[in-house]
């Protein structure tokens, strides 16, 4: 969207994208846009193209550039008879269950009115420790929130290759990924330097979030005009097939949480039980890691320390440390009150495939 040399908006390209969106809408396909470029636009506007801005400067630049970014989308969509609606999200809007549900309701209402949501991270208020940092994972979380059938990530590359095609002549293109195993994840690299964050590594993380939510994801080269129409016409890309067993909306939300708040290490008996669909009982927990509250998403580890799943904690980390290793009938006396009958309910546990 932003020219790599001039740092200006590519208006012709933007208008072509909006024409594609109008064509999709005419066929009954709703579209949500996740757009970046606010900081890059502001750096050009303020004459700050050189140097590395501080966190406070990035926040200020985001506040300045977001106005122009949204205006560009508003004008381009308006030329095709479409109404834009601006959403600025922080991780709290997707990672906190109640805020996630509120944001989802607002998104659904906006689509029902016929408007096109234009979403970006609220970089003016986000801090380093609590931000998406890239629009790939933000897009995946939005796709999960919207129960989207397809997420398209436009980049400067035609999808996933066995190696970086810019440095490896023998790199082979991968048209379809049926399962995101460790071999596929290892094909991602570190984010490249420059005005935007991201890279193939974050796109693969986004693919994991999206496909776990039952959403197909596509990585394609979006630099040419009419990128959506080009995809429909057979443009080369990589398709990541969705998990057909994505589960309930609650489980899809759990699967997409970016960073679990803590961890529970399980013994073999507990692991076998939850694989059979049982709730997690304290007797099967060997150790508690981190600090978390009831309702937080917590990682589940095997005895080697490898993550094997995650779930919503029914007790805080402090109470879980008291309860671990004990039987169900001992819980009330240990805590001094009557609580839940498990550390995690089976309906709030998901396991890695």
pLDDT at 353 over 80: no
Which of 4-13, 98-107, 300-309 has the least mean pLDDT?
Answer: 4-13
Give the separation between CA 66 and CA 150, rounded to whole angstroms: 26
With respect to residue 3, please indicate whether it lies within any of the assigned structural domains.
Answer: no
Q: How far apart are the first and last CA of the chain?
A: 36
DSSP string, 70-125: HHHHHHHHHTTT--EEEEEE-HHHHHSHHHHHHHHHHHHHHHHTT-EEEEEE-TTT
**Is 341 marked within a binding site?**
no
pLDDT in tens, 282-332: 999 999 999 999 989 999 999 999 999 999 999 999 999 999 999 989 999
With respect to residue 218, please indicate whether it lies within any of the assigned structural domains.
Answer: yes
User: What is the pLDDT at residue 195?
Assistant: 37
**Is 198 marked within a binding site?**
yes
Neighbours of 93 (CB within 10 A): 20
**Is 123 marked within a binding site?**
yes
Give the separation between CA 104 and CA 95, rounded to whole angstroms: 12
**Is 81 marked within a binding site?**
no
Give the separation between CA 242 and CA 249, rounded to whole angstroms: 15
Question: Which tokens belong to 50?
Answer: 């050189």
> Domain check: are 321 and 236 in the same one?
no
> Domain check: are 330 and 283 in the same one?
yes
Nearest to 82 by CA among 107, 102, 110: 110
> Domain check: are 224 and 293 in the same one?
no
> Domain check: are 162 and 281 in the same one?
no
Are the C-beta atoms of residues 266 and 276 closer than 8 Å to each other?
Answer: no
**Is 287 marked within a binding site?**
no
User: What is the pLDDT at residue 298?
Assistant: 96
Task: List, in sequence order, every beta strand (DSSP E) within the chain.
Answer: 33-34, 84-89, 116-121, 150-155, 160-161, 173-174, 176-177, 216-221, 237-240, 262-266, 285-290, 297-301, 307-312, 349-351
What mean pLDDT is predicted for residues 222-231? 96
pLDDT at 334 over 60: yes
Are the C-beta atoms of residues 139 and 94 closer than 8 Å to each other?
Answer: no
Residue 131 pLDDT class (50, 70, 90 cuts):
low
> Domain check: are 267 and 244 in the same one?
no
Are the C-beta atoms of residues 228 and 152 closer than 8 Å to each other?
Answer: yes
pLDDT at 166 over 90: no
**Is 135 marked within a binding site?**
yes
Question: Which tokens belong to 85?
Answer: 């609606």
Identify the domain boundary among 227, 252, 277.
252
Could you tell me the residue range of the domain that residue 347 belongs to? 261-351
Identify the domain boundary among 223, 252, 281.
252
Identify the domain boundary among 217, 252, 287.
252
Rg (CA), the chain: 22
3-state secondary structure of 210: helix
Total domain count, the chain: 2
**Is 326 marked within a binding site?**
no
Question: Which tokens belong to 96?
Answer: 């906190």
**Is 202 marked within a binding site?**
yes
> Domain check: are 59 and 137 in the same one?
yes
**Is 36 marked within a binding site?**
yes
């Amino acid at each position: 969207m932003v020219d790599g040399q001039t740092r200006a908006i590519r208006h012709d390209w933007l208008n072509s994208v909006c024409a594609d969106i109008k064509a999709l809408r005419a066929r009954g396909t709703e579209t949500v846009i996740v757009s970046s470029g606010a900081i890059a636009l502001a750096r050009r506007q303020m004459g700050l193209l050189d140097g590395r801005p501080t966190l406070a400067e990035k926040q200020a630049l985001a506040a300045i550039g977001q106005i122009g970014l949204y205006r560009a989308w508003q004008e381009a969509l308006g030329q095709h008879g479409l109404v834009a609606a601006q959403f600025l999200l922080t991780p709290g809007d997707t990672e906190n269950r109640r805020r996630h549900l509120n944001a989802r309701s607002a998104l659904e209402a906006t689509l029902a009115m016929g408007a096109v949501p234009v979403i970006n991270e609220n970089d003016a208020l986000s801090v380093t420790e609590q931000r998406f940092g890239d629009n790939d994972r933000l897009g995946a979380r939005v796709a999960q929130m919207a129960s989207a059938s397809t997420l398209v990530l436009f980049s400067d590359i035609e999808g996933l290759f066995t190696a970086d095609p810019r440095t490896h002549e023998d790199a082979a293109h991968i048209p379809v990924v049926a399962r995101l195993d460790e071999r596929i994840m290892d094909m991602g690299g570190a984010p490249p330097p420059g005005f935007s964050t991201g890279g193939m590594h974050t796109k693969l993380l986004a693919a994991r979030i999206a496909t776990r939510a039952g959403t197909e994801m596509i990585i394609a080269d979006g630099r040419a005009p009419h990128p959506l129409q080009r995809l429909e016409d057979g443009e080369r890309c990589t398709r990541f097939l969705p998990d057909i067993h994505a589960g309930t909306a609650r489980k899809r939300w759990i699967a997409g949480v970016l960073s679990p708040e803590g961890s529970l290490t399980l013994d073999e008996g507990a692991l076998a039980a939850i694989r059979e669909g049982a709730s997690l009982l304290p007797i099967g927990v060997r150790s508690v890691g981190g600090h978390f509250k009831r309702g937080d998403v917590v990682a589940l580890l095997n005895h080697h320390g490898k993550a094997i799943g995650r779930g919503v904690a029914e007790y805080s980390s402090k109470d879980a440390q008291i309860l671990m290793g004990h039987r169900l009938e001992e819980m009330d006396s240990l805590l001094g009150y009557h609580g839940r009958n498990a550390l995690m309910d089976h309906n709030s546990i998901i396991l890695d495939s």
